[in-house]
Structures are given as structure tokens and as C-alpha cells.
Chains A and B, each alone.
Chain A
Amino acid sequence: MTLLPRVDEYACCGHGDCAAIAPGVFRVDEIAVVTGSGPDDVVLEAARACPAMAIEVVDADTGEPVDV
């Protein structure tokens, strides 16, 4: 399975936890943006670490949201 993250721009506060965990996947200026992809476990860890719960993760094959 390949997991894709999506940042909810309204919910993101720019804490930067995601980019610290997955620097190849997220970049944080004012808010976080997705800049690439990464291993599923890293994407999930970054999503779980978001204090604003602003990262959604979807299964790239089905488009279904994945429970983080």
C-alpha cells in the first residue's frame, strides 16, 4: 500500500512536527506543504505527530482515508 498525506490548510498551524519527522515529505513555512512522498510508516508517524491533527492520509490505490 502507498500512503499519501494531505495537509488541511485551515487546520495547520505551522508547528513543524511533520517536517521534522519526514523532511522529504513536508516543508513548513507559514503552514506545511507536501513536497514529496515517503515510506508509509514515516507518513503515518508524521500524521500522528501533528498537534493540530491537520494531516490526512489516504491510500493511493483506493483514495480511501486511512485511520491514523
Chain B
Amino acid sequence: MGTRADHARVPSSVLIIGGGLAAQRAVETLRARDHHGPIRVVCGEQEPPYDRPPLSKELSARPLRPPDWYAERDVELLLGSRAARLEVGARRVRLEDGEALAYDELIVATGARARRLPTFAGRPNVHVLRTLADARRLRAALAPGVRLAIVGAGFVGQEVAATARGLGADVCLIEAADVPLAHVLGPRLGGWFADLHRGEGVSVELGAAVAEALPAVAGAPVSELVLTDGRRVAADVVLVAVGVAPETRWLAGSPLADGISVDAGARTAIPHVYAAGDVVRGCEHWEPAARLGSAAARSILGLPATPPLPESFWSDQYGVRIQLVGEAAGADAVELDGAGRDFTALLHRRGALIGVLLVGRPRELPHWRRQLARPYEERSAA
């Protein structure tokens, strides 16, 4: 069992690029485990680290810690500052303003940026949602009767649809696939989500992408969308919610430029460089970002990685808590218990339980997480 003394060493300097959840958890673990060296966090936004899930669920955000927390722990936050280049040989990061920050240990936690669509380039009433500033802009554009067209019916698009309905907006969800979330949940459960939104008065347009934004005048606000099959959707405000791309542009020229993979200890292929959060392949969602941020700190401190847990994530829509634990993609059978807005869906592959979708049953989550933690072979006929 580790004690503080076991991990005593000459304090190294830790530089964290990115100021989201993964960065925050890395800082917390470092200080909780008595890392006394300097910690610097380069936050691209003007905000200290905040929790991102409320952006789509409430169009707001909460700070992850109170403002004084950082100074009290001698953690330096560089707000509104962005990295421009990683210089691996010199072990330093060059910022956009030219300043060079040296590090002993580096954590890359720059997250992801919202994907945009070229169709909407330069249009003033077209939004994406990734940052608190984005959420504030979108919130300010919504009011009762405002027509909001959401392009992309993934979880972010759906959560904003629910939030905007709550604000009295007139909402249309547009999805290129024939069923929302089909690639994650399969057609049957995906269809449930389409019905959920239709039941709340959202117009759901499936199986068509956006072909054109009208008027076809550069820089003019969009007033109507023409879909690939000719359908038309009138809009006062457009939200593009078609996923994210890892923010690795500043790593151009480094060995991490083409995407970042890490081990359970958040180590990249480069010595003294760790990565956590949405910037890492396969690390989207809240729980893995939090855990990998902490794992990076543990590796820096020489502590072993914590064992993996079956991951869950959640969505809140129209007051319904929706949770997925384990995996859903690749299921070949779905077993339903319950109906409407109160059901459990057991997802099986070749007779073994691989994931569980809970709708309106938050108290069942721990039970199913434990079931999914059992070895795969033991889950057959679960």
C-alpha cells in the first residue's frame, strides 16, 4: 500500500495543455498525492476548468472547482492561452504568443473541437456547441417561437432539442441516417429516441443531409435549409451538431500529429508526454476523460494505473435520465423490460451481455455495471 513517503522525489514540473475535465483531474490527483512541483495549466478559453455536460443539457456550465482552489494549491492557470507547437527534443511547448514553456512532464489535454459544415461557412446565425461561449451565444438566440434547426441527431443534438423545447423554441432535428444513434444503439433503440422527440413536438427529419442553405448569399443569415431529398426546413437559428474532431492541430510536425493513443497509464509513445480526454482516440465521454486525467497524474507520480471499470455515460432529455453502461454497438439481440420512458434494454452479442441502456431507471446503473465487470464468458445467458 502506497504512502506519501514512498513517492517522494525531486519535484518535477508538470505542464498541462488544455483546461477541461481531464486536466482538472490530473491536477487534483497530483496535488492530492503530494506532488509539490510546479503545475501550469494552459487553458484555451477564458474560463477556469468547467464541466461540459451542462452545455447541451442546460446551455450553461459549472466550474469544476471554486475560483480560489487553484491559487490555494499553487496551480497556475494561463487563461485564454493556446499552444502552437510541441518541441519534443527541447521538452517545451511554444504558445501562440511566442512564449516557450519548458516541462519535465507534459499532459496533452486539448480536447476536441466541433466539426463544422462547409455549407454554412460565414453564416451568422449558424452555431456549434463545444464551449461555454458557444452555449451562451446559442442560449441568447433562443426564445419562444424561434425556429431552431439542429443538424445531427446525436446526443448533443438531441439534448439541445430537449433544452430548446423547454425554452419554447420550435425545433427540427435533421439526421442523415435513417434512425438516430443507429450506429451506437441499433435501429430499434434509435427509433425510440426519434419517437421521444416527436412526442415532445420536435419535427424529426431522417435520412437526409443538408444540401443547401438559403438564401444562397454569402454572409447572409440562413432562413431555410434544403435537404438532399428536396425537403425544406425553415429556420431562424441553425445548430450544427455533427460530432467533434480531436484538437491536435498544434501538434503538427510532432509524432502525435496523426492522432493520440495511450496505455492505461495515459502514456503516449513519447517519453514524459501523457494525454487524456477527448483528444485521445476512443476517450470521448466524461468518465474516461476523468479517469485518464487522473491516470496521467498517477503515472507521473510512479503510481500504478487503477483497474478499468465498465464505462457509462448519461443523457438528460425532457426530464428523463438515459444511461448506457458497457457497449451497445455490435449487439445482435436486445431484450426489453418496461416501456415508454421507464425501461431497461439488455444488449447481447452471441448470447453474452455487452451493454445496458437504462431509461428512467438511474438506480439500476450500479447493478448492471457490476454485472458487466464480470468476465465476458460468465455473462452468457445473464
A interface list, Cβ under 8 A from B: 10-11, 13, 15-17, 19-21, 48-49, 51-53, 56, 64-68
Contacts and interface: CB of A to CB of B under 8 A. Distances in A.
B215 interface: no
A48 B362 CA distance: 20
Interface stretch (B10-18, B249-257, B302-310): B302-310
A11 B367 CA distance: 21
Given A11-B290, A16-B365, A20-B366, 12 more contacts: A15-B366, A16-B366, A17-B369, A21-B366, A21-B370, A51-B309, A51-B312, A52-B287, A53-B25, A64-B3, A65-B4, A67-B303
A11 B21 CA distance: 10
Interface of A is mostly: loop
Contacts of B312: 15, 51
Given A48-B306, A51-B309, A56-B32, A67 B366 contact: no
A19 B286 CA distance: 21
A15 B365 contact: yes
Interface of B: 1-4, 25, 28, 32-33, 64-65, 286-287, 290-291, 294, 303, 306-307, 309, 311-312, 362-363, 365-367, 369-370
14 contacts: A10-B64, A15-B365, A16-B363, A17-B365, A17-B369, A19-B366, A20-B366, A48-B307, A51-B291, A51-B309, A51-B311, A65-B33, A66-B1, A68-B306
Contacts of A51: 287, 291, 309, 311-312, 369
A66 B1 CA distance: 7
B173 to A, nearest CB: 27
Given A10-B64, A64-B3, A67-B1, A49 B369 contact: yes
A67 B369 contact: no
Q: Which of A11, A20, A21, A51 has the most CB of B within 10 A?
A: A51
A17 B325 CA distance: 12
B32 A65 contact: yes
A16 B370 CA distance: 12
Contacts of A19: 366
Nearest to B64: A10
Contacts of A15: 312, 365-366
A20 B306 contact: no
Contacts of A68: 306
A38 to B, nearest CB: 16
A11 B291 CA distance: 11
Contacts of B362: 16
Contacts of B65: 10
A51 B365 CA distance: 11
A10 B78 CA distance: 22
Nearest to B362: A16
B369 A53 contact: no
A20 B367 CA distance: 7
Contacts of A53: 25, 290-291, 294, 306
Contacts of B286: 13
Contacts of A64: 3-4
A67 B309 contact: no
A64 B33 CA distance: 10
A18 to B, nearest CB: 8
Nearest to B63: A10
Nearest to A16: B366
Contacts of A56: 32
B107 to A, nearest CB: 16
B65 to A, nearest CB: 6
A25 B3 CA distance: 24
B307 A49 contact: no
A66 B303 CA distance: 12
Contacts of B363: 16
A17 to B, nearest CB: 4
A29 to B, nearest CB: 12
Contacts of A13: 286
Contacts of B291: 51, 53
A67 B1 CA distance: 6
Contacts of A66: 1-2
